[in-house]
Structure 1
């Protein structure tokens, strides 16, 4: 005989399956212990540890894989499908997905991955976010279950995950369902019962429905997403002419009829709107004759798309009608661009120009690739340029860069030259930085064909970058937070002078009585994200300062923000943040004895650096990555300190009397 007993815990209802009647009596006698069963984060001790972890998530029929990307703040290639041999969904309207996340040991000594959730309706409760959207994987110490949020509010969340020991490659977070047993979970994920018990500190075979358990695994199969993006049609069709949903089949004719009807309604609304504009203008006597209808239709199209109509789609697009262009999803409305071009309009390039400038976007022209697009080298109107190609769905990031770079001009910010749009892509055209990204000259530069930077060159790069960030923080009419400061977004020109680039994630800084308090969706690059930003979604100028501190650590050590360590799993090396490594070295160093620090300094220096300047720069970086943002300096203070360090470094170089290879290295970039 089998009994089920349901009990309510935070954050979700949990059911315990009982195989024998006398267990029910024991359950009642031990009810305080049972009621304490709930999802809890795994503890950790190594604050610098970062690993790859996985989440097993059931995709609802009303959601797409792209929705899952947004939920967990991951890229398309981070999502795979659990193989059908390992899992058969009881409900055909759900699919089992495996989501790859970056898991880290938090300052609270718990393992978490970080994301945020944008509420879609007023009065959304925290409990509904955790249980409905995230199926129990989300966690936060900042909210109670009944707390509500207004519409379009980003709610920062932690995702329950874990890092495995050397016996297994990864840990997979799984919410237990009613029919799960330890043996079935072990068989399903090619694990074993003893390992699952050990990881979850379970001493018996009882598991609890609705609770997150961590399953040791060695591999994940079944690709869903990829470079071209995931499929958004994730509801598997049944045999015949209907799609299966939570309430049975829906005839294909109804689906087709609904889509056609919706399109007809859209066309009618557009025609009615255009006709109303014609009549209104006729009443004012501004049209003149019957030909004005065609004129207003064209004007309305230009009103929606502005000058983008000169660069829509392929070469045949110029022959298409206004209505053809009107319904193109990739085009941008002019009203969205009004406050972009209130200072200066960039050059509008045609698609043909961009296409020819990059030689059809040949792979040899590829300069780099990021989360929102690829950058190609091109020659436009006899000028070398960098052309960023973004998918048409990245309108938000595209407009963000236009909004800032059309208004903000500084020698240490990359200059926007122009833009272009097509049916499938959006293009931004920048000045070309001949010496590429700072990261290319720091992280194994010789293997990449680049020259390592000397000490003085690095200090100059740090000062240039700080000046660019100080400008957007304090000296523009509207203050901005970059939100993605990293060595890969600092470019070097022909004289190895630095320019901050990639403003697709930049946000306005809202000034309040209490200071800067803009709550935002957590975005950026792992390893550079400030703790308060990860925990509470507070993106301020001090968040940029934190990321800049990580860049300073990279300049001193030549290491990546997240680097491979000597700890190995069976398939991949563990990774460590550079921050705890540097903090440990600085803790044991003094101005008169920096041996611990010198042990991790970039070996390419070959001891050619001023010891006092090195210590000051490392100490400045330490101040930038303070846990408490109030203890971090602002960019104005950082610029001042780096100016002093550069001056003393130049004096040190002068003492070499020009006999060293590093003499005047700040201008030659050696």
Structure 2
């Protein structure tokens, strides 16, 4: 749970520990270095009371525990000993017999004790809340679950404890005093707000409402000062690449952020269509509370330029908002063209166009993974963050969650906060908080599956929706299930392919007189399906890097566009059934 030191910097918290092997109460007490009266047994493990705090060098609440490194230990083994609550540090070498301090993830709330719970297979939001007697809405809000009811195996959830000791300590006399004082404070505060509102609206006209807030101006000043070059050093962005726009310019071009100009809504703000310096632009409006995401995106897009990355034109601040000004992608986001496109006024994408889009996006990711220093991990690769220009060429967008890798693309960086979008998150990232470029590869594999099927990354399970929660099935599960049919590798795949792909006919696919184009398209569809499967491999080390993904997609695109077979005898089905290389020929 993210720190909030203004609320509290430490608390008493609970960890729901389920050992991987049978374990006694005494063994658990010894492992966690706590008194036995702070450990209670449960039906499948132990509920452990720990001291939870927010150290100065941490973004998350943690509990410190001393651990003596054993022979054969790895970070994965150590974490599993503690129920996978340990924040792993893969860059730190474990030395046998050395005593180290482990950080176990926990949470603090100003009202109740929180239980840290690791989600296991079969759990749903409803069953977890029922088990602990917790309120679903409160638990969802506490954990930021934005997809109703969907949770991911391996995630840590923070559940309000119903019998919090913190609540039991207050006595009636204290409540009476606090209640009386609270009433007086509320009355005075309300009166002050009324007077302030009257004065504010008397003194402020339209011009003052447009002026930049101090906070927003300060952030912009901070960024500009941090990017000033040292002596004999070039600035990392040039004035012809990024322009500082005034707040008035942004207001005027968006018609004061009129709804008619709104073209999108993201996790960090709204996007408006504008026209600045003779060109159409997309303007992302962010509250100044999102300064971290604003500065992250501004920083990378001022440094990195590639035809398959959305171009930053400029930025602005004002009215308690921060603004990023991008090139305008005329055809919007890829997801709009895949999920019921005809209902949104789009013509379904052809197979060749889909492969080209995949290759474009792969090249953009390859660039930030391989050809920049430091290396970058996007951390939110998804079809809604792939934008299409007037020629349906793809550009990666939304770099607010980007993570820097200083040493090597495949050397992970530990992160204590899991960010991104459900359905696209790599399992090791969710489980261990370790992010590498292979995390993006997993997400890209899901994008390939969407291009193949036309389905979203998460699908509601029919009949599971209630007033309180909804069950979902991931597209990854659906596709992997289809690709497990070893006897006929194409039969199940054809059932998953997007019906909007009209270039081939599934009914005639296996007939001897099927035309060559149909065979070739099915060949390239199968090759992309295998590539998507490789990208979402549970073992991140077995996933291809984006360089290999680009090569394989280039081959798939060539096959699609050539309209002729590489095999003169047309032995496609034999090739597909025995395709074990999974590499670009």
Within-5 A mapping of 1:177-188: none
1:565 paired with 2:565, answer: no
- Among 502, 525, 539, which residue is 1:614 paired with? 525
SS at match of 1:630: helix
CA contact (8 A) 1:115 1:159 kept: no
1:434 paired with 2:330, answer: yes
- Among 563, 570, 574, which residue is 2:471 paired with? 574
1:172 paired with 2:114, answer: no
Evaluate the alpha carbon distance shift between residue 639 and residue 128 of structure 1 in structure 2; reply closer, same or farther with a 3 A threshold: closer
- Among 506, 510, 518, which residue is 2:413 paired with? 518
1:388 paired with 2:284, answer: yes
The residue number in structure 2 matching 1:633 is 544
| TM-score, L = length of structure 1 | 0.55
The residue number in structure 2 matching 1:281 is none
Evaluate the alpha carbon distance shift between residue 535 and residue 355 of structure 1 in structure 2; reply closer, same or farther with a 3 A threshold: same
Q: CA deviation at 1:461?
A: 0.1
CA contact (8 A) 1:161 1:172 kept: no
Q: CA deviation at 1:315?
A: 3.5
CA contact (8 A) 2:271 2:284 kept: yes
CA contact (8 A) 1:387 1:428 kept: yes
Q: CA deviation at 1:570?
A: 3.4
1:485 paired with 2:369, answer: no
Evaluate the alpha carbon distance shift between residue 646 and residue 9 of structure 1 in structure 2; reply closer, same or farther with a 3 A threshold: closer
Q: CA deviation at 1:431?
A: 0.3
The residue number in structure 2 matching 1:135 is 113
1:587 paired with 2:481, answer: no
Taking only aligned residues, the RMSD between alpha carbons, in angstroms, comes to 4.8
The residue number in structure 1 matching 2:124 is 163
Evaluate the alpha carbon distance shift between residue 318 and residue 496 of structure 1 in structure 2; reply closer, same or farther with a 3 A threshold: closer
Aligned pair count? 428
Deviations 1:145-191 (A, max 9, x none): xxxxxxxxxxxxx6999327xxxx775267579xxxxxxx99x99xx
Q: How far apart in 2 are the matches of 1:380 and 1:132?
A: 45
Deviations 1:212-249 (A, max 9, x none): 899xxxxxxxxxxxxxxxxxxxx9996655589xxxx9
Q: How far apart in 1 are the matches of 2:160 and 2:181?
A: 38
Q: CA deviation at 1:483?
A: 0.5
* Structure 1 alignment gaps of length 5 or more: 1-7, 13-30, 42-59, 64-68, 73-111, 118-122, 141-157, 178-184, 190-209, 215-234, 257-312, 656-670
Q: How far apart in 2 are the matches of 1:319 and 1:436?
A: 31
Q: CA deviation at 1:367?
A: 1.5
CA contact (8 A) 2:211 2:318 kept: no
CA contact (8 A) 1:553 1:578 kept: yes
Evaluate the alpha carbon distance shift between residue 161 and residue 351 of structure 1 in structure 2; reply closer, same or farther with a 3 A threshold: farther
1:36 paired with 2:36, answer: no
Q: CA deviation at 1:575?
A: 1.6
Evaluate the alpha carbon distance shift between residue 355 and residue 236 of structure 1 in structure 2; reply closer, same or farther with a 3 A threshold: farther
Deviations 1:321-380 (A, max 9, x none): xxx959976654244444795232411111111111111111122111111111111111
Evaluate the alpha carbon distance shift between residue 428 and residue 126 of structure 1 in structure 2; reply closer, same or farther with a 3 A threshold: same
Deviations 1:58-99 (A, max 9, x none): xx9x99xxxxx9989xxxxxxxxxxxxxxxxxxxxxxxxxxx
Evaluate the alpha carbon distance shift between residue 597 and residue 499 of structure 1 in structure 2; reply closer, same or farther with a 3 A threshold: same
SS at match of 1:429: strand
The residue number in structure 2 matching 1:415 is 311
- Among 341, 344, 360, which residue is 2:256 paired with? 360
Q: How far apart in 1 are the matches of 2:340 and 2:85?
A: 29
Q: How far apart in 1 are the matches of 2:299 and 2:291?
A: 12
Within-5 A mapping of 1:495-514: 495-511=391-407
CA contact (8 A) 1:138 1:159 kept: no
